[in-house]
Amino acid sequence: MCGREELLEIERIRDGEGLEITALSPGLFKWTDTLEKFKREMAEVFPRSVELAHRWNLCALIIFGFQKPGATEENADTISSANPPEWVVECLTDAAERARAENLKLLIEPEPVCWADTGAATAELIRRAASPALGVNYDPCNVAWQLRRDPIDEFDAVAPLIANVHIKDQLDAPKGSGIPRWVTPGEGMIDYRRHFAALERIGYVGPVSLEPHFPLTVETLSQCKQAVEKFWAAANLTANMEER
């Protein structure tokens, strides 16, 4: 939704700093709780997202799994995602086929406010939609926000679908306690050594993005990066990626 000058500035920064854009997350379907909202997003947001994905040579868009009725970031973990309505599955299938026609995949990021709020719920939604154009943006911390525990036991349910990874961490808190308190990876409830070892086990070689959710400075970003690199090295992922 950025203007032309803002997009050009993004590209100037990318080119000037030697960066690579690895993902585009336009917020599709995060707050979508009706068929009318879905149609509007597909008419207004989806085409622009596809245009940018092609411009930046991306193979996928990160999306969300449709809003659970009445869910907010404060109460979402108290609302069940069991039995999503058929219109959600049909809309997801429609969006996936539209993406497939553009040679793109849609990667669902689990999010507490959505029907796809855990790894298991996301995998089941993808199974019902039955499109090869669907995958998972793996974010164990978002799932921990819903479950209020480290979701490493769900890894195998989503493993064949993982195509992108987000990293952040949170302090332990009980159900219904609202938005988590975000911390540097390794200081919270997520055991990233185990998650990275699991990614190594399945041969994952895709992008891994820091998504701290707290105000960034050079110092705090460096702390996040160093923590992730430590867990990464412990899982031997760096050496394995170099071999591949």
108-121 confidence digits (pLDDT tens): 999 999 999 999 99
143 CA to centre of own chain = 10
* 15, part of any domain: no
* 6, part of any domain: no
Can you give the CATH number for the domain in which 159 is found? Answer: 3.20.20.150
One-letter identity of residue 181? R
In sequence order, the 6+-apart residues with CB closer than 8 A to the CB of 21 are: 10, 14, 56, 58
Q: What is the pLDDT of residues 169-184, one digit of tens each?
A: 999 999 999 999 999 9
Intra-chain end-to-end CA distance of the chain, in Å? 37
* 11, part of any domain: no
Domain that holds residue 65: 20-243
Q: For the range 121-129, what are the long-range contacts, defined as Cβ-Cβ under 8 Å and sequence gap of 24 or more?
A: 121/65, 121/81, 121/84, 122/65, 122/158, 122/161, 123/157, 123/158, 123/161, 125/65, 125/84, 125/88, 125/89, 125/92, 126/161, 128/89, 129/89, 129/92, 129/93, 129/96
**Which one, of 149, 87, 90, 89, lies nearest residue 118 by Cα?**
149
The mean pLDDT of 190-218, rounded to a whole number, is: 94
0.85 surpassed by pTM: yes
pLDDT for the residue 165: 97
The mean pLDDT of 67-80, rounded to a whole number, is: 98
The four Cα atoms 141, 146, 148, 152 give a dihedral, to 10 degrees, of: -50
Which of the residue ranges 137-141, 191-195, 206-210, 240-244 would you say has the lowest mean pLDDT?
Answer: 240-244
* 3, part of any domain: no
* 12, part of any domain: no
pLDDT for the residue 163: 97
Q: 244: pLDDT confidence band, cut at 50, 70 and 90? A: very low
Q: Is the pLDDT of residue 153 over 90?
A: yes
Q: Determine the Cα–Cα distance for residues 10 and 234; give it in Å rounded to an integer.
A: 34
For residues 173 and 185, is the Cβ–Cβ distance under 8 A?
Answer: no
Total of domains in the chain = 1
Average pLDDT, the chain: 94
The mean pLDDT of 211-225, rounded to a whole number, is: 92
pLDDT for the residue 243: 52
Q: Is the pLDDT of residue 235 over 70?
A: yes
